[in-house]
Structure 1
Amino acid sequence: MKQSLTLSWLLAVAFFAHSQSFNNLPVNTQKPPLHGRHWMAITGKPLAATAGAMIFTKGGNAVDASCAMLAATCTMWDVLSWGGETQALIYNPKTKKVIAINALGVAPTGATPEFFKGKGMKYPPEYGPLAAVTPGTPGGLMVMLAEFGTMSLKEVLAPAMQMAEGYPIEAQTANSIERGKEQIKQWKYSTKVFLPHLGEKREAPNAGEIFVQKDLLETLKKLVEAEQEALKKGKNRKEAIYAAYDRFYKGDIAKEFARGCQEQGGLITEQDLANWKVKIEEPLMTTYKGIEVYKLQQWTQGPAMLQTLNILENFDLKSMGYNSTRYIHTLYQAMNLAFADRDFYYGDPAFPPDEPIKGLLSKEYAKERAKLINPDRNDPNAKPGDPYPFEGKTNPYLTLLEKWGTAHLHKPTSQNPLDENFLEEFAAGTTSVEAADKEGWVVSITPSGGWVPACIAGNTGIGMSQRMQSFVLDEKENPFNVVAPGKRPRVTLTPSMALKDGKPFLSFAKQAGDEQDQLLIQFFLNMVEFNMTVQEACEAPSFKTYQMYSSFGKHEKAVGSLTLNSEMPAWIRKELSRMGYKITYQDRTSGPINAIYFDWENGSFWGGSSNHGEDYGIGW
């Protein structure tokens, strides 16, 4: 089977290079596509997809189901937990508009550049209580459910609560806990939850062992109790859910969360929790060949995908051929330019200075950026541009731009061009949630934060976020993303949605830190330019660039580094090497991407999920 697939992809690459079309090419995907007429539920864990299916079968809509999947993935510590952050796009069939959900936490009281520099840090830490912004996922889930769902919090949390009572933990998470156990032992509340075999050779749970989370279960019970008590007092469904929201952020749960955080050296206060609010926002949008593509605002990296698509509209990608040398080079260069802008100009729009997002997303600015692409060589010095003139303003940061981009370069060796720590920081994982129903609701979520090894806040059972590390401490790196109390960091998390002819066309997202938008672009182009099915597009070999600053750890970048699929033909490898690329290889470079395609001709959904990890779904 493996030899057959290898031959299939080699033939596919050769075919694209010559015929420049994916039409009529038979490709045997490793996972079959999902099909459904009534609903579709896809996420990072099979058990969590089942949770979504359970809600659908009880009559819930796509928002209800996506909230159940989100709750389940958080309970499974699928490289995220309840104390992390949630970012979502929702298509509302009643208004025929896409809505953005901003449930990212903020830096707590006392989180200033001077505080972290005083501790000898170049950036906020990667792990522990000082890495935490306020928890966003509980609020995000409850706001989505209250505003756009149909079911009660009790119904939607039921699968997650059953799992908190005990579920058979999978090997991936169990082994991750074992690998991180020395760090986990620094925090007593984490030790209590994660290491049931303390003192034995293996202290983490074994694969298949029933993993019990009593404290988390009590926290979830408190949320349901608050909702049910409000209903008994005559409150409606929406008001009752907000009563649970208030208990989390202003009641006894908040009190214990703040106490547990501060006991372990963190900064989050009860007032920080009470002041934080979920934001329902307008998403950003651009068009690519008439297709509307939606992303969250510039507090995420999402607009970089929109910028890249604007640049790529100036090239005939289809004529280059799928994954040809010219195609890979053009995408790589376009992404470098967009991500350089991301690294310097993106930040929380609620805080000054105002990001020049209008200029960054203008088609005219993209044309000027496209002119910078050298067709024959990689540009190792790609820098942010000047979008201010494209919105009628003067750039106040020209002096900073002149000196930008010389720090934090990853220093590869001939034996190890990309070391393990760099790759781990660059592609820090999360998950994604995709859901759609026959009424027209569509949901795309990229939640994250509080991954293993997580510091649990007191007796809440909730792992705290690690998102503080995405801030910078020096405006020379990014004047829009300097840490400040109450401010959201610029994050990598970036759900996606596309509309065609005024109707949903694609809902798609992926995990893995700074990799997200660069692989989502390739997935999108696989379908739009090369006519792949959604499953083919999810599995198709992608390439990766590291010529942008990592949003994690040491915030390094690796100039000219390019990861190709190991099945890439030798002649393309040689051509790219001559163009100045430092090439590494991976067997699977497809994601994991999760996606739903809307087949309006047949009135059905197609679901796709990469052949990379446990992601998959269920349709009906």
Structure 2
Amino acid sequence: MQFTTRPELIGTFGMVASTHWLASSVGMAVLEKGGNAFDAAAAAGFVLQIVEPHLNGPGGELPVVFYSAAQDRVRVLCAQGVTPAAMTIERMHALGLDVVPGTGLLPAVVPGAFGGWMALLRDYGQLPLAEVLGYAIDYAENGYPVLPRVASSILAAETFFQNEWPTSAEVWLRDGKAPAPHTLMRNPGIAATYRRLLAEAGAVSDRAEQCERARLAFYQGFVAEAIDTFFRTTAVLDTSGRRNAGLLTADDLARWAPTYEEPASYEYAGLRVHKTGPWGQGPVFLQQLALLKRFDLAAMDPAGPEFVHTVVECAKLAFADRDIFYGDPDFCEVPLQTLLSDAYNDARSRLVDARHASRELRPGQLGDSDARLATILANAGRAQTGGFGQGEPTFAPLPELKGDTVHLDVVDRWGNMVSATPSGGWLQASPAVPELGFCITTRGQMFWMAPGLPSSLGPGRRPRTTLTPTLVTREGKPYAAFGSPGGDQQDQWSLQMFVKHVHHGMNFQLAIDAPTFQTAHFPASFYPRAMQLGHLAIEGRYSPATLAALRERGHDLQVMDDWALGRLCAVGVRGGLLRAAATPRLMQAYAVGR
């Protein structure tokens, strides 16, 4: 029997879904003011920086997949910052490092989120910048209720902040203590930074010009200068167990700007799925579809062992290709056309054994893939330890619950649709920059320190992230936008929601509420890059018979709590009506609309 925790929302005016109810409400308020989906997405995104600071911040990054009704096209906005000019394998080795640390100043790359939101507002928004930023400024100045998981994250770092990262202690501790859950928290430093950016942008009548001036004030003005000074003059303890200064400079920020790109896409069941390029993990979603197309998912019980086994075995193959072939296409050749081709996936799908779980990492045989695989296996899980935390944010106290970002989706009455997965600048990952009130993204940890891989460390490169918003069209028009936080799990949870919707007739809310699963069969994208061959984590709502059948097939089962896996949000258009849904897991994501 299908079970749902709440209805799928249906309306005609606008829909917003995000990982925090305050951000969703702000997005809807912007639509009610006459803003479009781009204004609403940016306003919600800025609020998420304030209310979920353990999962994203002003110093983070931003991938967006969107449909513009005026242009009648899908585009990708890449606001993923690049590595500093000084960030080389040789420089890291000279510091005595074999792995890029997961925390501190050393793994920082150019923070892209602010520039991305400014570009989107400049080119597609319609409200004045002060109106869009005003909600975040208000919460930062006047306070917001602290989520229990925010409080737990700060509590876990309390002593470390006091002893090692005093600038973070100043921002996140109150009288030397972590805030209590559900109390009022303020971030006056962030509010002051945003007010100064607005002031330096000036009261110009042209709103696009104001957005561009604000962007320049960030990347060529006082923000860049504050980052440069802090990184040059400060050495902080990181996961290497040593104190390291940063490599990011004002020149690195000044040279960078967000870019628009064509999406990677794949046709499946009469729908076209659009993702980022292989500088993110987005195409791994498409590869899973290309593999699953060879199986009759519609005939399988979505809560049965055959469905779980088939989906997870195809995921293992697609993610193995991700780790071998994906990287910044400005610096490497990614054979994406081959990886999504029928011939390639016909052959790959035959590797799926219906009765036995794979316990090998099996990328496709293309070029020097064997040599790349050997390099990755030799380096996976190699890490020094000594500083607080790990690369991917965790929620304390134990048991550890991983999650690394936020997500939002918006559709408006004019037909615009936006899917965005902001991330980075986590409060527990890097010390706060004085004068700014926020810290800088540590995405540099996602590079391999071994040469010869598409995602090997080098200057000016985009890290191959896990950030992966999704937009779906039908006959060229927007059909759905969805996504989830969760690092390597994002394109596993989202994939399951999508195929349950397509093949089993579930609306978005039913598909989100359905029990889910994930594997860590491949090297993790985050420090310390661990791998668990044969692993399968699964929610406890699956039947004992399903769990027994999966164990019999050889899966190393990790049975989780009933509602432990996934933070999915979605909006869509079906039958001429707007739709929205959000996960009940963690009890903070909400969809709103009318």
State whether TM-score is above 0.5. yes
Counterpart-to-counterpart distance in 2, 1:275 and 1:230: 25
Q: Which residue of structure 1 lines up, in the alignment, with residue 230 of structure 2?
A: 260
Matched, 1:566 2:565: no
Counterpart-to-counterpart distance in 1, 2:549 and 2:341: 33
Q: Which moved more, 1:163-172 or 1:243-252?
A: 163-172
Matched residue SS, 1:80: coil
Instruction: Please say if residues 363 and 369 of structure 2, whose CA atoms lie closer than 8 Å, have aligned partners that are also in contact.
Output: no
- 1:360 Cα offset (Å): 1.2
Q: Which residue of structure 2 lines up, in the alignment, with residue 110 of structure 1?
A: 86
Give the counterpart of 2:151 among 158, 174, 178. 174
- 1:396 Cα offset (Å): 4.3
Amino acid at match of 1:381: E
The Cα offsets for residues 172-222 of structure 1, whole Å up to 9 and x where unpaired, read as 212221122233332222111111221xxxx01223333222221121012
Instruction: Please say if residues 381 and 531 of structure 2, whose CA atoms lie closer than 8 Å, have aligned partners that are also in contact.
Output: yes
Call closer, same or farther: CA 1:408–1:86 in 2, change over 3 Å: same
Q: Which moved more, 1:207-216 or 1:158-167?
A: 207-216
Matched, 1:221 2:195: yes
Matched, 1:341 2:321: yes
The Cα offsets for residues 509-528 of structure 1, whole Å up to 9 and x where unpaired, read as 00010000011110001100
Q: Which moved more, 1:273-282 or 1:450-459?
A: 450-459
1:78-477 alignment, distance < 5 Å? 79-170=55-146, 171-185=148-162, 186-198=164-176, 203-231=177-205, 236-264=206-234, 265-351=245-331, 353-387=332-366, 395-401=367-373, 405=377, 408=380, 427-453=402-428, 454-475=430-451
Counterpart-to-counterpart distance in 2, 1:81 and 1:118: 31
Counterpart-to-counterpart distance in 2, 1:426 and 1:283: 32
Instruction: Please say if residues 45 and 78 of structure 1, whose CA atoms lie closer than 8 Å, have aligned partners that are also in contact.
Output: no
Counterpart-to-counterpart distance in 1, 2:231 and 2:139: 25
Matched residue SS, 2:558: strand
Q: Which residue of structure 1 lines up, in the alignment, with residue 497 of structure 2?
A: 523
* Structure 1 residue runs of 4 or more that deviate by more than 6 Å after TM superposition: 420-426
Give the counterpart of 1:609 among 567, 582, 588. 582
Counterpart-to-counterpart distance in 2, 1:488 and 1:227: 28
Gaps of 5+ in 2: 235-244, 383-392
The Cα offsets for residues 114-135 of structure 1, whole Å up to 9 and x where unpaired, read as 2223334332111111121111
Instruction: Please say if residues 105 and 133 of structure 1, whose CA atoms lie closer than 8 Å, have aligned partners that are also in contact.
Output: yes
The Cα offsets for residues 309-348 of structure 1, whole Å up to 9 and x where unpaired, read as 0011111111122132111111111111110000111011
Counterpart-to-counterpart distance in 2, 1:427 and 1:179: 14
Q: Which moved more, 1:377-386 or 1:520-529?
A: 377-386
Matched, 1:51 2:26: yes
Instruction: Please say if residues 74 and 80 of structure 1, whose CA atoms lie closer than 8 Å, have aligned partners that are also in contact.
Output: yes
- 1:356 Cα offset (Å): 1.3
- 1:278 Cα offset (Å): 0.3
Instruction: Please say if residues 129 and 211 of structure 2, whose CA atoms lie closer than 8 Å, have aligned partners that are also in contact.
Output: yes
The Cα offsets for residues 397-425 of structure 1, whole Å up to 9 and x where unpaired, read as 54444665465379xxxxxxxxx989999
Call closer, same or farther: CA 1:173–1:404 in 2, change over 3 Å: closer
Amino acid at match of 1:432: H
Instruction: Please say if residues 569 and 583 of structure 2, whose CA atoms lie closer than 8 Å, have aligned partners that are also in contact.
Output: yes
Query: Share of identical aligned residues, percent?
Result: 31
Amino acid at match of 1:146: R
Instruction: Please say if residues 230 and 243 of structure 1, whose CA atoms lie closer than 8 Å, have aligned partners that are also in contact.
Output: no
Call closer, same or farther: CA 1:209–1:320 in 2, change over 3 Å: closer
Call closer, same or farther: CA 1:320–1:342 in 2, change over 3 Å: same
User: How many corresponding residue pairs?
Assistant: 566
Instruction: Please say if residues 427 and 514 of structure 1, whose CA atoms lie closer than 8 Å, have aligned partners that are also in contact.
Output: no
Amino acid at match of 1:96: D
Matched, 1:548 2:542: no
Counterpart-to-counterpart distance in 1, 2:308 and 2:214: 49
Instruction: Please say if residues 85 and 459 of structure 2, whose CA atoms lie closer than 8 Å, have aligned partners that are also in contact.
Output: yes
Instruction: Please say if residues 180 and 452 of structure 1, whose CA atoms lie closer than 8 Å, have aligned partners that are also in contact.
Output: no
Call closer, same or farther: CA 1:295–1:90 in 2, change over 3 Å: same
Matched residue SS, 1:460: coil
Instruction: Please say if residues 144 and 186 of structure 2, whose CA atoms lie closer than 8 Å, have aligned partners that are also in contact.
Output: no
Amino acid at match of 2:72: K
- 1:226 Cα offset (Å): 2.5
Instruction: Please say if residues 153 and 227 of structure 1, whose CA atoms lie closer than 8 Å, have aligned partners that are also in contact.
Output: no
The Cα offsets for residues 492-514 of structure 1, whole Å up to 9 and x where unpaired, read as 00000111232212110000100
Call closer, same or farther: CA 1:209–1:578 in 2, change over 3 Å: closer
Matched residue SS, 2:322: helix
Call closer, same or farther: CA 1:564–1:370 in 2, change over 3 Å: same
Counterpart-to-counterpart distance in 1, 2:159 and 2:81: 27
Q: Which residue of structure 2 lines up, in the alignment, with residue 16 of structure 1?
A: none
Amino acid at match of 2:305: T
Counterpart-to-counterpart distance in 1, 2:394 and 2:168: 23
Matched, 1:497 2:476: no
Gaps of 5+ in 1: 1-11, 13-26, 388-394, 411-419
Counterpart-to-counterpart distance in 2, 1:484 and 1:409: 20
Counterpart-to-counterpart distance in 2, 1:538 and 1:361: 26
Counterpart-to-counterpart distance in 1, 2:564 and 2:184: 33
Instruction: Please say if residues 426 and 550 of structure 1, whose CA atoms lie closer than 8 Å, have aligned partners that are also in contact.
Output: no
Matched residue SS, 1:617: strand
- 1:429 Cα offset (Å): 2.0
Matched residue SS, 1:173: helix
Q: Which residue of structure 1 lines up, in the alignment, with residue 388 of structure 2?
A: none
Instruction: Please say if residues 98 and 449 of structure 2, whose CA atoms lie closer than 8 Å, have aligned partners that are also in contact.
Output: yes
Q: Which residue of structure 2 lines up, in the alignment, with residue 416 of structure 1?
A: none
Matched residue SS, 2:427: coil
- Kindly report the root-mean-square deviation, in angstroms, between the aligned alpha carbons of the 2 structures: 2.1
Matched residue SS, 1:382: coil
Counterpart-to-counterpart distance in 2, 1:214 and 1:590: 34
Amino acid at match of 2:217: R
- 1:90 Cα offset (Å): 0.8
Q: Which residue of structure 2 lines up, in the alignment, with residue 74 of structure 1?
A: 49
Counterpart-to-counterpart distance in 2, 1:550 and 1:571: 30
Amino acid at match of 1:138: F
Call closer, same or farther: CA 1:408–1:486 in 2, change over 3 Å: closer
Instruction: Please say if residues 590 and 612 of structure 1, whose CA atoms lie closer than 8 Å, have aligned partners that are also in contact.
Output: yes
Instruction: Please say if residues 543 and 589 of structure 1, whose CA atoms lie closer than 8 Å, have aligned partners that are also in contact.
Output: no
- 1:575 Cα offset (Å): 1.6
Matched residue SS, 1:91: strand
Matched residue SS, 1:343: helix
Call closer, same or farther: CA 1:425–1:104 in 2, change over 3 Å: farther
Matched residue SS, 1:557: coil
Counterpart-to-counterpart distance in 1, 2:8 and 2:291: 31
Counterpart-to-counterpart distance in 1, 2:71 and 2:23: 29
